[in-house]
Structure 1
Amino acid sequence: MSFSGFDNRGRGRGRGGPRGGEGGGRGGGGRGGGGDRGGGGGDRGFRGGRGGGGRGGRGGFAAPIQVFSDPNSIITPDANITKIEDDYMTSTAGIGALKLTASFPPRPGHGTLGQKLTVFTNYFELKSVQDLNLTRYNVEVSPQATGKKLKRVFELLLENPEFDGVASEFKSLIISRHPLNISDPYVTEIRYLPEGQDEPKTNAQVYRVRVVTPTTLAVSDMVNYLRATSNTSPVFAQKHEVIQGLNALMGHSANIRPNITSIGQNRHFTILPRDPSNSHPLGGGLESLRGFVQSVRAATGRMLINVNVSHGIFLQPGLLSNLYPQLGFGARHKLETKIKRIRVALTHLPGSKDKKTNLVIPRVKTIFGLASVNDGSGSPNPPRVSSFAAGPKDVKFWLSDVPLSAPKGTKPPTKKKQPSTTNLPNNAYVSVYDYFKHKYPKIVLNERNPVVNVGNRENPSYLPAEVCKVLEGQTIKRRLSPEQTKNLINFAVRLPAANAKSITTDGKVTLGHGDPNLSRFGVSVSAGLVTVPARQLPAPGVRYKNLAGKDFIVEPRDGSWNMRDIKFHTGSSIDPWTYLHIRSNRSGHRDIFDDQDLLSYTVKEFVKFLNRSGIKAAPPIRGPSGYFPALTMVDGDDYANDRQVRHLFTAMSQASAAARPKFVLVILPYNETAIYNSIKTAADTGSGIHTICVVGSKFGKEQGQPQYFGNISLKFNLKAGGINQTVDPKKLGIISEGKTMVVGIDVTHPSPGSKDDAPSVAAIVASVNHTLGQWPSDFKSQEGRKEMVAALEMMFLGRLTMWQKHNKNLPENILIYRDGVSEGQYQILLDTELPLIRRACAQKYPANQTKAGFPKISIVVCGKRHNTRFYPTTEQNADKNSNCRNGTVVDRGITEVRAWDFFLQAHTSLKGTARPCHYYVVLDEIFAGRSVKPPHKNNADALEDLTHNMCYLFGRATKGVSLCPPAYYADVLCTRTRCYMSEYFDPVESSSAPSVSSTGTSQVSMHNIQVHEAIKDSMYYI
């Protein structure tokens, strides 16, 4: 498991971590922290920026700003690149309007708005000699091999002298500087030889390897294409192949060094010698290593290498016996799952010496599982295992004169060496404990430690945990616990200058940028990071009402503001409503609201706060019995708690009108994933009641209470149909005309720890008017890990109908922000999703509008799962956390002039290194041909400014967020749907499996996860 995204604590939201409360971190974290999107949950969204200005801030003393400096970097951006960009735009001015199709529109210009500045970026320049051609060969291996075995087959192939000096990604291709002197096809047979062994076994697997189809990769031609200052040159057809070949070349050094472990093809971690500053224990037998991810990128005028810090999750190396308590010694079946397929070195047997390196290679085995009563049941003398996961005294194997059935690694010696085992019987059963006691008396075995099987079920081979040393660099793929996630975030979150320094020092060493083999291939890597031109866009004023009900503008400072003494732009009513107090019987837990007077007082104060904020709220209603709803959680019994919650919300929904609440404030004893899932599922899908969850200790704490109340009120108002904030209509460009519907689409996929048949879920949100204050939604489950939205036609029809309901007409323009699509899927998106959108429109729009070209559609793909980062070059351009200031936009230097894209860091990161969002226009029918209004000088200005200003309209926060709200809301909805399907995404290991079709596809019933009719058209998902 590897992460390069835990570098920005923007209080975002989480997919697939422990949940509780209403906040969270994206990916692996909990619902209470660790995201990277800015302004989200927890109790941090209702506050200002730096103290002393605007509408108030935190004040206090800020840590000194740290700005990265590098003697190998040139601060001034490369003037030659800027000239190529400018010359290209000059030569192609006006040509974009002549483009026959709207897909992949040309860049309409570079942005001009904002304060100009220069930033570092985590790219190195990849330089090449003139007239550089490389040769690529495809490699076919049969029978099929994968993972480490496939890599080893490649290593054995490259030992042949014909392949001296080549590079490979050890998967499917070989790259050479010049054509090789081999036949086409070149065919050879390779007998599999594990690393460290001198000769293959007699029964070793034989692989047939074919090296075929030499192809010339014209690297210099591609660089010349990137340097062209007009679009008269044809599209460079080999772009993908050249980048793929260069990635193989650049990753070769890290892939072949034994002290480097890799995750995938481009994430590399130094495991030996161990550097304490780049490793950190996470608990539970896991550790995180700091490594690096790299990829070759094409940019205007040059090739670049993007390098970022990455954090991998690995098993802690060391004796397995020492690891057992951390892995969870008590739950044996879970323990087996955690150690299955772990590679261990045998400490009781001597290793073999590698003839090439003269290094001693330990004997390595792979753990099949723990000893089981069914092991070797078909053998003549099957093992005797008293129970699953038995210890060494309770696992016995047959010890024979001719050791046919003795476990590998515990075989008795030959008769010449028999004296060392004279106290052991021959042709009899002997326990693992007794065998090691006599054969290796210095090794002390713990009779309680489960014995491991390093063979298989049919032919088991037993070893005690005390002789199994877990090897370094073994990654894991499972969900982290909340505590492990917290430890990972604490280790991974660092100031931008620290990450930049790691990249330019440790990164270059780990990735092998100084490898002499690169020069033999005619390429080299620049010594320092690239600098690029940037601009800081001004934040828009945010509109609310003052206490007298008049329009009031708040000026953000450092990208945030507070709502002291002001009201929501458009208030709402939540009556009738109530609160639900959930206690817990967890040992040692103290509930702040055991004091019922404090609970009553806090609720009264909260009601006052809601009314002051513009939300009409009467005192909470009581249930039919005259009391406020309450229940007590049974610690550790998720099923009992779920039954209680469902029963209670069913009773609420069936109560008389006077006792039936529309809103319920749920006061939780602490953050708890399972109870949160139960509440949201019961309320959203079963009862049609809005719920807002809070943690009692925070809700009742006097210190910081206004901020916490404010954060809760943001959600109440949105769910009730209110509008929290707006901006000056002029700041929203085309949207202010009231004829443009803005849409957000995202898809969430199963995460580590989900069931194999867990589905993916597609989510869509859309605006209903020009204020962008309300975003009704829809979602559908679909085949797992499928990114393209299968049911988009029906989902889109619903959004058009909703717009029509609010506006009495259909939108002339539809601006779509599509999250989660990788670069390689841009064309697939246009080929699969766009036709479904057009079919939906064809069903709604009359023929005359369709004939007139309506609706006009633009699609902007937005993504944060990339590795581009920016670092300020001066203290003046840095924020208080040493990041670039909010509003930083980059569309030069690392982009391609032929494409329309830009990077935007709209938010202020609370901690760590800010991650900008990348926006790429794959379709444009809206902006093309429209006249540009001042202050914009081109449509690049128009889109960048519009996108940035919208980031101040995310209703759940009082700050600019890092992802444009349409995509952000769709993302939040994806998270909510995971609650409804927690049996798939957060399975309890002892629970029964769901129904599975013959194809293995999850049969999730949409009927079971339909949102209740009473709330489905609201922002219930906030």
Structure 2
Amino acid sequence: MADSLLSLLFGPDGLSPPEWLRLALAGGSRSRPCCQICGSYGHRRRDCTAVGVIAGVIKSGLRAGESSSGRGGPWRGGRRGGEGGGGRGGPWRGGGLWRGGRGGGGEGSSRGGGHKGGRGGFSPTTTQFQGDAVLVTEMDKMTISGDNDNETIALSKRVLAFRDKQWVFPIRKEYNTTSGQPTYVIANYYELKTSTKTKIVRYVFEMTGPNRSKEMVDSFIQREFPAVVEYLCPDYGGYLYAPEEWTPGKQHFTYPAGDEFEGQTFTLKSRLVLNVDGYRDYLTASDVPTSSILPLAHEETENCVIPVAFYAVSMALNAIIIRNPRIKNTYLIHEKGNTMYDSRKGKVLSQDPCSISGLDTGHSAQIIVGLHASVRPGSQRCLVNASKVTNLYYRTLPMEDIVNLREGTYGQGVNLENRLLDKTEEKGVNQCWTGVLIRVDLPDGTSQHRVLKRVHTGNAQQVIWETREGVQVTVEMYSIRMGRPLRFPKVQLLSFKPQRGSIGRCEFPIEWCRAAEGQKFKVRLAASGSRDMIYHSASAPFEYLATLKDEFSNMFHRAQDNLTLSRFGLDFGRELLKIQARTLAMPRVMMGRNSTADIDSDNGSWRPRGKSFHSPAALLPYILLEIRTGARAVRVDPGVGKPFKGLIIALLGKCRGYGMARTEVAASGEFTLWLTSSRDDPRVDIENLFKGRIEGFKGGAAGVQVPLIFCLLPGSDSRYYNAIKRAGDVLSGVLTICMDGNKTSNQRIARDPGSYCETLALKVNLKCGGINHSTQSDRVLQRIFPELENNTVMLLGADVSHSGRRDLPSISAIVGSYEPSHSRLYSEVAYQKNQEMIENMAEGVRSHLDRFHDKHKTLPRFIVMFRDGVSESQYRQVLDREVVAIDAAVDRAFLQSGIQRNPERPKLVVLVVGKRHHTRFFPPGATDKRHKTLPGLVVDRAITAIYEKDFFLQAHAAIQGTPRPAHYFVIRDDMDLSDTQIQELVFTWSFSFGRSFRSVSYAPPAYCADLACGRARAWIQHKVDDIRGGENLYPASASGSNSSSDITAVAQANLHGIAGDCGRLHEDLKETMWYI
């Protein structure tokens, strides 16, 4: 019985029960040299009190289950538990291993007991295992040691002991959730072991002068403190960390004229001893600060999820672990933070990654693989999150070899030509290279590093330089005099920003220039570039895991080979963390006529064969539009090509099969727009077509009915897509569905367009007002709130999209649901200044509440908001600014609606959704690409927040590579939900995304807000490209410098100018899912 229970506990994944536990249960005395329960080397397993406690608990549960009557047996136990349990004894529900009973036993109280024990006190003289149990695996020591080595106290008990403190965010109601199937996963985290030697001091490090690079900081330390280079750890952000006993000989450093450091000054001041012991106590829940538990972060880089005093320790540890690889490996590109790329492992792209008119950028970029490693607070221990990263960098070749002036000629050896760049080519070079640090190799053998400003107006035959002798010559003649004649003298020079403190030349020939090393590629990728990136960076879990282990060992090294770690008393764990997890059961997805979708639990998808949409709509009047290039002059012809018409016939047949009406009606109009060249901007011609032809199909005796435009584009060039979407969404107020001509001409799709048409049919039904499928999340809610009625929950999602430059506006989107299915989400979008916090949150939420009230004549009882795109440093800002705005909108709507209809103010739950993190999970024993973690995987321990409600949820199956789970952090919870309830609801809602018959990677409200931001970005992209290309579209009253006030003035002018020129969503589309 003992063995059968143990195999049940350890799951079917091949883990065998530890020998020491088998022996303890059998009364044996054999053991190994060290204790793997409490992590101590001071005694052996047989002497550890915890062994006896575990064995006693399991034995008592077995006795209760085997000998009791009424609900007996090992699964539920008897009515009265045995020695270690309360009522409902036995190993699974009694005072045994999995869940304490209600009566309390000899060792528990009100609801005490086993591994999944809940409420209740515990005896100070005995040990209750009630957090994450230590026996799970040797690596997953989920308990912590008290002052006495023989006393182990569960983490959940300690967390509950601090409930009376003033918490900023909701804290856990339970440390162990119980829903789903227990399992194990390997997480990409190593333990960072500290010791009594870990004593760290922090100095404020100030540097002034013309060179403020990381390399200058390293050179200063090497010059002034050569004996302790490994022990002095700068964070390159204003601090220097050192061992506690180290002090600098002096604090201020200056250098005379003629010195290599001339003009540079360095200052070390404000010595502070960091509280490493307090940080350790915080992680182990031994103590929590009595002051404000989570003060507002003062800087964007500060993490407000842990107290500021302890965040300083985390920052120090990050600087320490990165020091050794930085000084030992000169080939590493050290980006901001703790990410490093191996410059030796660049891969050239297989195609042009961007859609820049007049320029093929494929030669300019390369994919480089690297490693990210950052210190994270974990439950009971300090962790290092290590992950493989991939990014796009400029190649360090001469610009004459990589500026390709012919689109679509990548790999054909066509590069620079000796002629003036035309306006399109000049704009393309500006878009691709403005703001990039360039190394200029001068004819005299010296080099300068300059930031590119734009393409200059003159070439080397026109621009005049003055020689040292005072003679004025052209740049071409100067090059000849210096013995380095130009090969492209007719090409315009490049204009650079002036160096600080210098009045030298700022225009240089393009053939003297190359990108400096370590420059991240700044251009927005097209669809083809994104596919290429995914193809090169995706790797199966077993490949990812093997690469991660090798790269981490080779790059970071452990203490015996790492002087920095050993000096600070630190070391990395030998193996990645193996932790408990759970796989949630698949939710129920409803199709038409109350039929249920058969979900494949391996990939979270379903095929609705023979089933209709949940609520099929009637097809709107539709128009066919085909765009072609290559004509001598722009013209519009009636009719479309046969392949396009055949694809539409197949699509309408698929819609008919899903129950949509009016699919047999012919198109209201058919047009082919012929354009002259793929290099010409199609925006004006497309807008003229919509205004002159398509708007005439709107209206009629029955009022405005929005037609649907099926548009076949000539390729994947984003300019066509952006122009169509702006014309339909903003100018004419018609719905559009675009199809890529390259994709539809694919032979596989041409032979069998079924799957492609299925994807399009989902969009068609949503745009026409239907519901594709419905998750029965109301059933989950009714289990929580039995009195719940339909239409009482509103889902909201919010996101902000940025342009990548401080002088360009951001776009915010707030989406909301008004139906119980939560499959239809309507969006409000707005332009705002470049910041993450949403300025119009109150207005956007109020608009959704008004529409909900108009539809249901009441307000929702509960509002659940998913906020996407904010970092941990911004959680408090979201709470203090955006949630306050939501409260104001709710209060106003509540007071206006009247107390008779809404006797209770709507309750609010706000979760932050994180996607851009570095956490990954792997199934134990994965050996090939078929082994992946399954949809529904939940991890809420070991690597999550110690006190607050947060969890990782992998709701989807990765189509390529290793799946990335979404991270959810609860910052407001008026509904007082348990961790289990929140996780089940979020997982259920992950199946409500209407555009696919599968679950999505994160909550659909946040997903749809991201889509709406992306669509609104298409409306303004032509203006953004013009500004990036060097055009001053909206002049501001600025002095011309790069000061913050000037950038603010330019940004304000650009915001108002773009908002005025590009317009907003057409009124006729506000009640539609226009962004899908």
Q: What is the deviation of 1:959?
A: 0.5
After superposition, where does 1:105-504 map in structure 2 within 5 Å?
Answer: 105-130=171-196, 132-142=198-208, 146-148=212-214, 151=217, 155=221, 158-159=224-225, 165-182=231-248, 186-190=251-255, 199-200=259-260, 204-207=262-265, 209-228=266-285, 238-257=309-328, 258-271=330-343, 274-275=344-345, 283-325=362-404, 331=425, 334-335=428-429, 338=433, 342-344=437-439, 346=441, 364-367=447-450, 388-390=458-460, 403=468, 429=473, 439=483, 459-460=504-505, 472-480=517-525, 482-504=527-549
Residue 339 of structure 2 contacts residue 371 of structure 2 at CA under 8 Å; is this kept in 1?
yes
- Match of 2:860, SS state, is coil
- Specify which structure has the bigger relative contact order, considering alpha-carbon pairs within 8 angstroms and separated by 6 or more residues: 1
Instruction: Give the Cα separation in 2 of the matches to 1:692 and 1:879.
Output: 39
- Determine if the alignment matches structure 1 residue 703 to structure 2 residue 751: yes
**CA 1:372 to 1:691, structure 2 compared with 1: closer, same or farther past 3 Å?**
closer
**CA 1:963 to 1:475, structure 2 compared with 1: closer, same or farther past 3 Å?**
same
Report what 2:1043 is aligned to: none
Report what 1:723 is aligned to: 771
- Match of 2:237, SS state, is coil
1:748-776 deviation digits (Å, cap 9, x = unpaired): 33334x6x532112211112132212212
Instruction: Give the Cα separation in 2 of the matches to 1:507 and 1:243.
Output: 20
Report what 1:906 is aligned to: 955
Residue 574 of structure 1 contacts residue 662 of structure 1 at CA under 8 Å; is this kept in 2?
no
- Structure 2 unmatched runs, 5+: 1-134, 146-151, 294-306, 354-361, 405-413, 1038-1048
Bigger mean CA deviation after superposition, 174-183 or 859-868: 174-183
Report what 1:771 is aligned to: 821
- Determine if the alignment matches structure 1 residue 89 to structure 2 residue 156: yes
- Match of 1:294, SS state, is strand
Residue 138 of structure 1 contacts residue 213 of structure 1 at CA under 8 Å; is this kept in 2?
yes
Count of residues paired in the alignment: 861
| TM-score scaled by length of structure 1 | 0.76
Bigger mean CA deviation after superposition, 853-862 or 657-666: 657-666
1:530 is matched with which residue: 548, 556, 577? 577
Bigger mean CA deviation after superposition, 956-965 or 1011-1020: 1011-1020
Bigger mean CA deviation after superposition, 336-345 or 975-984: 336-345
2:907 is matched with which residue: 856, 860, 885? 856
- Match of 1:897, SS state, is coil
**CA 1:715 to 1:487, structure 2 compared with 1: closer, same or farther past 3 Å?**
closer
2:260 partner letter = P
Residue 604 of structure 2 contacts residue 956 of structure 2 at CA under 8 Å; is this kept in 1?
yes
After superposition, where does 1:731-750 map in structure 2 within 5 Å?
Answer: 731=780, 733=782, 737-738=789-790, 740-750=792-802
After superposition, where does 1:512-661 map in structure 2 within 5 Å?
Answer: 513=558, 514-545=561-592, 549=593, 551-557=595-601, 558-585=603-630, 596-620=641-665, 627-634=669-676, 635-638=678-681, 639-648=683-692, 651-652=695-696, 656=700
Residue 886 of structure 1 contacts residue 906 of structure 1 at CA under 8 Å; is this kept in 2?
yes
| TM-score scaled by length of structure 2 | 0.72
**CA 1:264 to 1:75, structure 2 compared with 1: closer, same or farther past 3 Å?**
farther
Bigger mean CA deviation after superposition, 994-1003 or 279-288: 279-288
**CA 1:319 to 1:791, structure 2 compared with 1: closer, same or farther past 3 Å?**
closer
Q: What is the deviation of 1:482?
A: 5.0
- Match of 2:586, SS state, is coil
1:681 is matched with which residue: 726, 738, 747? 726
- Structure 1 unmatched runs, 5+: 1-73, 193-197, 351-362, 374-386, 406-426, 929-938
Q: What is the deviation of 1:889?
A: 1.1
Instruction: Give the Cα separation in 1 of the matches to 2:794 and 2:929.
Output: 33
1:3-26 deviation digits (Å, cap 9, x = unpaired): xxxxxxxxxxxxxxxxxxxxxxxx
Q: What is the deviation of 1:553?
A: 3.4
Instruction: Give the Cα separation in 2 of the matches to 1:167 and 1:948.
Output: 43
Residue 776 of structure 1 contacts residue 1019 of structure 1 at CA under 8 Å; is this kept in 2?
yes
**CA 1:822 to 1:448, structure 2 compared with 1: closer, same or farther past 3 Å?**
same
**CA 1:334 to 1:101, structure 2 compared with 1: closer, same or farther past 3 Å?**
closer
**CA 1:481 to 1:973, structure 2 compared with 1: closer, same or farther past 3 Å?**
closer
1:204-259 deviation digits (Å, cap 9, x = unpaired): 4243x332211111223311321236879885652111111111112223443533
**CA 1:965 to 1:747, structure 2 compared with 1: closer, same or farther past 3 Å?**
closer
Instruction: Give the Cα separation in 2 of the matches to 1:462 and 1:795.
Output: 48
Q: What is the deviation of 1:605?
A: 3.6
Report what 1:29 is aligned to: none
Residue 443 of structure 2 contacts residue 482 of structure 2 at CA under 8 Å; is this kept in 1?
no
- Determine if the alignment matches structure 1 residue 958 to structure 2 residue 1053: no
**CA 1:233 to 1:497, structure 2 compared with 1: closer, same or farther past 3 Å?**
farther
**CA 1:368 to 1:796, structure 2 compared with 1: closer, same or farther past 3 Å?**
closer
Report what 1:23 is aligned to: none
- Match of 1:81, SS state, is coil
2:1070 is matched with which residue: 1016, 1019, 1022? 1016
Report what 2:803 is aligned to: 751
1:1016 partner letter = K
Instruction: Give the Cα separation in 2 of the matches to 1:809 and 1:371.
Output: 57
2:449 partner letter = T
1:867-898 deviation digits (Å, cap 9, x = unpaired): 111111134xx996433111111111211331
Report what 1:76 is aligned to: 137
Alignment RMSD, CA only? 4.0
1:138 partner letter = V
Instruction: Give the Cα separation in 1 of the matches to 2:138 and 2:774.
Output: 37
Residue 117 of structure 1 contacts residue 534 of structure 1 at CA under 8 Å; is this kept in 2?
yes
Q: What is the deviation of 1:713?
A: 1.5
Residue 741 of structure 1 contacts residue 813 of structure 1 at CA under 8 Å; is this kept in 2?
yes
1:946 is matched with which residue: 960, 985, 997? 985
Instruction: Give the Cα separation in 2 of the matches to 1:395 and 1:997.
Output: 28
- Determine if the alignment matches structure 1 residue 967 to structure 2 residue 1006: yes
**CA 1:139 to 1:586, structure 2 compared with 1: closer, same or farther past 3 Å?**
farther
2:1015 partner letter = R
1:833 partner letter = E
2:551 is matched with which residue: 506, 520, 525? 506
Q: What is the deviation of 1:709?
A: 1.7
- Match of 1:713, SS state, is helix
Report what 1:412 is aligned to: none
Residue 163 of structure 1 contacts residue 180 of structure 1 at CA under 8 Å; is this kept in 2?
no
Instruction: Give the Cα separation in 1 of the matches to 2:974 and 2:789.
Output: 17
- Match of 2:670, SS state, is coil
Instruction: Give the Cα separation in 1 of the matches to 2:665 and 2:256.
Output: 76
Q: What is the deviation of 1:971?
A: 1.1
Instruction: Give the Cα separation in 2 of the matches to 1:243 and 1:327.
Output: 48
1:1014 partner letter = D
After superposition, where does 1:930-941 map in structure 2 within 5 Å?
Answer: 939-941=978-980
Report what 1:20 is aligned to: none
Instruction: Give the Cα separation in 1 of the matches to 2:288 and 2:993.
Output: 39
Q: What is the deviation of 1:445?
A: 5.5
- Match of 1:80, SS state, is coil
- Give the % identical residues: 23
